[in-house]
């Protein structure tokens, strides 16, 4: 068989994992499945799930396991995000650092980013420096304002997430990336189970 006649190996199919199947106490507050977001409209379907790459889920579980004995659990605001939604966000806020340019794709579009916060063990709110999707310097990791409790909670979350190998977005206390995610393919995966 000639060298150029050999069949080429197909690119591996990337499967996203529903994070709640691996982290049963993970709380979902998927903001883009509601109107409570900066777009002011629901852009994810009812039944949207927290889908992530297997490595992202493994690391998220490590963070959850570290936080549980400290009296916390994780609450996710956003996980995998379809690229079509990225275009809608870019129309409203074309500001790199806060919203990724959809031409290149976001790590959310790859299943390699998660937006999250802490909750108490019983699911109660935990004070953070700002609300989710606050596009001001108050949301930056280096922000020294706010209450001591809010800064302490931000730090507890950061230590757990970085300890599990995630990288923080310096401009958003809630956003963490899988290392090397920008080199991964942008995905097009349905949110809801196939019927």
Residue list, annotated binding site for Zn(2+):
108, 115, 175
Which residues, 6 or more positions from 172, have their beta carbon under 8 angstroms from its beta carbon? 98, 115, 139, 140
> Is 172 annotated as catalytic?
yes
Q: How far apart are CA 120 and CA 74, in angstroms?
A: 8
Q: Are 191 and 78 in contact (CB under 8 A)?
A: no
β-partners of residue 195 are none
Catalytic residue among 3, 127, 162, 172: 172
| Per-residue tokens: 34 | 């509601």
Q: Tell me, what DSSP letter sits at residue 54?
A: H
Q: Are 63 and 74 in contact (CB under 8 A)?
A: yes
β-partners of residue 177 are 113, 167
Q: What is the dihedral of CA 42, 43, 47, 49, to 10 degrees?
A: -120
- Count how many residues are written for the chain: 195
Instruction: Write 102-105 long-range contacts (CB < 8 A, 24+).
Output: 104/182, 105/186
Closest by CA to 159, choosing from 151, 148, 76, 78, is 151
Catalytic residues: 172
């Amino acid at each position: 068989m000639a060298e150029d006649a050999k069949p080429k190996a197909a690119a591996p199919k990337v499967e996203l994992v529903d994070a709640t199947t691996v982290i049963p106490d993970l709380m979902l507050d998927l903001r883009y499945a509601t109107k409570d977001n900066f777009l002011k409209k629901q852009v994810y379907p009812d039944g949207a799930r927290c889908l992530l790459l297997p490595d992202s889920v493994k690391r998220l579980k490590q963070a959850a396991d570290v936080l549980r004995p400290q009296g916390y659990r994780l609450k996710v605001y956003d996980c995998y995000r379809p690229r079509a939604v990225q275009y809608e966000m870019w129309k409203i806020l074309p500001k790199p650092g806060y919203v990724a340019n959809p031409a290149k794709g976001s790590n959310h579009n790859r299943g390699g980013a998660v937006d999250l916060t802490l909750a108490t063990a019983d699911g109660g709110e935990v004070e953070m420096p700002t609300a989710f999707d606050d596009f001001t310097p108050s949301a930056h990791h280096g922000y020294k304002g706010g209450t001591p409790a809010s800064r302490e909670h931000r730090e507890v979350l950061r230590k757990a997430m970085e300890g599990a190998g995630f990288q923080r977005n310096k401009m958003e206390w809630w956003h963490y990336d899988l290392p090397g995610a920008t080199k991964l393919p942008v995905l097009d995966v349905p949110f809801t189970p196939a019927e």
